[in-house]
Structure 1
Amino acid sequence: MQQQISVKLLPYAAASHPDILQAAASALGVATTRITGYNILKRSIDARSRQVWYLLTLQVFVDEPYYHQSFTPIAYPSLPATATPVIVIGAGPAGLFAALRLIEAGLKPIVLERGRDVRTRRRDLALLNRSGVVNPESNYCFGEGGAGTYSDGKLYTRSGKRGDINKILQIFVQFGADEKILYEAHPHIGTNKLPHIITAMREQIIASGGAVHFEQKVTEFIINNEQLQGVKTATGATFNAKHAILATGHSARDIFELLHRQEILIQAKPFALGVRVEHPQALIDSVQYHSAVRGEYLPPASYSLVEQVEGRGVFSFCMCPGGIIAPAATSPEELVVNGWSPSKRNNPFANSGMVVTVDETDFVPFADKGPLAAMYYQQMVERRAFSAGGGRFVAPAQRMTDFVQRKVSATLPECSYVPGVHATDLFQVLPAAVAQRLATAFVAFGKKMRGYYTADAILVATESRTSSPVRIPRDGDTLMHPQIKGLYPCGEGAGYAGGIVSAAMDGERVAVAIAAL
Structure 2
Amino acid sequence: MKKELNISLTPKQASDEQFYRPVIAQKLGVDETELTAIVVRRKSIDARQRQIRINMGVAVYIGQQPEVESTSYHYQNVEHKRPVGIVGAGPAGLFAALRLIELGVKPILFERGKNVSDRKRDIALIHREHLINPDSNYGFGEGGAGTFSDGKLYTRSKKRGNVKKILEVLVQFGADPEILIDAHPHVGTDKLPQVIRGIREQILASGGEIHFNSRVTELMIKAGECKGLTLSDGSKFEFEALILATGHSARDIYEMLYRQGVNLEAKTFAMGVRVEHPQALIDSIQYHQAQRGPFLPAATYSFVEQVNDRGVYSFCMCPGGFIVPAATAPGEMVVNGMSASRRNSPFANSGLVVEVRPEDLREFQQHGVFAGLEFQRQIEKLCFMINGNTQLAPAQRLTDFVAGKKSADLPESSYRPGLVTAALHDKLPKRIASRLRGGIQQIDKKTKGFLSNEAIAVGVESRTSSPLRIPRNDHDLQHIRIKGLYPCGEGAGYAGGIASSAIDGERCAEAVAQNIR
| TM-score normalised to structure 2 length | 0.98
Query: Equivalent residue for 1:196?
Result: 194
Does the CA-based 8 Å contact 2:402-2:425 persist in structure 1? Answer: no
Q: Give yes or no for the alignment of 1:495 onto 2:455.
A: no
Pairing partner for 2:326 from 325, 328, 343 = 328
Give the counterpart letter for 2:136 in structure 1: S
Query: Equivalent residue for 1:29?
Result: 29
Query: Equivalent residue for 2:57?
Result: 57
Compute the displacement of 1:385 (Å): 0.8
**Between 294-303 and 26-35, the greater mean CA deviation after superposition:** 26-35
Q: Give yes or no for the alignment of 1:17 onto 2:10.
A: no
Query: Equivalent residue for 1:115?
Result: 113
Does the CA-based 8 Å contact 2:79-2:206 persist in structure 1? Answer: no
| TM-score normalised to structure 1 length | 0.98
Query: Equivalent residue for 1:252?
Result: 250
The runs of 5 or more residues in structure 1 that have no matched partner are none
- Hey, what's the Cα distance between the residues in 1 that align with 2:374 and 2:267? 12
Give the counterpart letter for 1:73 in structure 2: S
Give the counterpart letter for 1:66 in structure 2: P
The runs of 5 or more residues in structure 2 that have no matched partner are none
DSSP 3-state at the match of 1:511: helix
Compute the displacement of 1:431 (Å): 1.0
Q: Give yes or no for the alignment of 1:276 onto 2:274.
A: yes
Does the CA-based 8 Å contact 1:71-1:170 persist in structure 2? Answer: no
DSSP 3-state at the match of 2:98: helix
DSSP 3-state at the match of 2:454: coil
Query: Equivalent residue for 2:384?
Result: 386
The CA RMSD measured in Å over matched residues stands at: 0.9
Does the CA-based 8 Å contact 1:8-1:55 persist in structure 2? Answer: yes
Q: Give yes or no for the alignment of 1:358 onto 2:329.
A: no
- Hey, what's the Cα distance between the residues in 1 that align with 2:66 and 2:488? 42
Give the counterpart letter for 1:351 in structure 2: N
Does the CA-based 8 Å contact 2:91-2:144 persist in structure 1? Answer: yes
- Hey, what's the Cα distance between the residues in 2 that align with 1:461 and 1:144? 26
Q: How does 1:413-452 map to 2 (within 5 A)?
A: 413-452=411-450
**Between 438-447 and 320-329, the greater mean CA deviation after superposition:** 438-447
Pairing partner for 2:402 from 401, 404, 416 = 404
- Hey, what's the Cα distance between the residues in 2 that align with 1:72 and 1:200? 17
Give the counterpart letter for 2:49 in structure 1: S
DSSP 3-state at the match of 2:495: coil
Does the CA-based 8 Å contact 1:324-1:349 persist in structure 2? Answer: yes
DSSP 3-state at the match of 2:49: coil
- Hey, what's the Cα distance between the residues in 1 that align with 2:438 and 2:221? 50
- Hey, what's the Cα distance between the residues in 2 that align with 1:227 and 1:464? 34
- Hey, what's the Cα distance between the residues in 1 that align with 2:501 and 2:51? 37
Query: Equivalent residue for 2:154?
Result: 156
Compute the displacement of 1:251 (Å): 0.3
Q: How does 1:470-485 map to 2 (within 5 A)?
A: 470-485=468-483
Q: Give yes or no for the alignment of 1:463 onto 2:461.
A: yes
Pairing partner for 2:373 from 348, 369, 375 = 375
Query: Equivalent residue for 1:78?
Result: 77
Pairing partner for 2:100 from 95, 99, 102 = 102
- Hey, what's the Cα distance between the residues in 2 that align with 1:250 and 1:424? 28
Compute the displacement of 1:482 (Å): 1.2
Does the CA-based 8 Å contact 1:227-1:242 persist in structure 2? Answer: no
Q: Give yes or no for the alignment of 1:171 onto 2:169.
A: yes
DSSP 3-state at the match of 2:147: coil
Identity %: 53
Pairing partner for 1:312 from 288, 305, 310 = 310
Compute the displacement of 1:80 (Å): 4.4
Query: Equivalent residue for 1:291?
Result: 289
Query: Equivalent residue for 1:90?
Result: 88
- Hey, what's the Cα distance between the residues in 1 that align with 2:65 and 2:130? 59
Give the counterpart letter for 1:465 in structure 2: R
- Hey, what's the Cα distance between the residues in 2 that align with 1:504 and 1:71? 21
Query: Equivalent residue for 2:180?
Result: 182
- Hey, what's the Cα distance between the residues in 2 that align with 1:182 and 1:235? 43
Q: Give yes or no for the alignment of 1:3 onto 2:8.
A: no
Does the CA-based 8 Å contact 1:94-1:490 persist in structure 2? Answer: yes
- Hey, what's the Cα distance between the residues in 2 that align with 1:26 and 1:370? 67
Does the CA-based 8 Å contact 2:264-2:469 persist in structure 1? Answer: yes
Does the CA-based 8 Å contact 1:5-1:27 persist in structure 2? Answer: no
Q: Which runs of 4+ in 1 moved over 6 A?
A: none
Compute the displacement of 1:427 (Å): 2.4
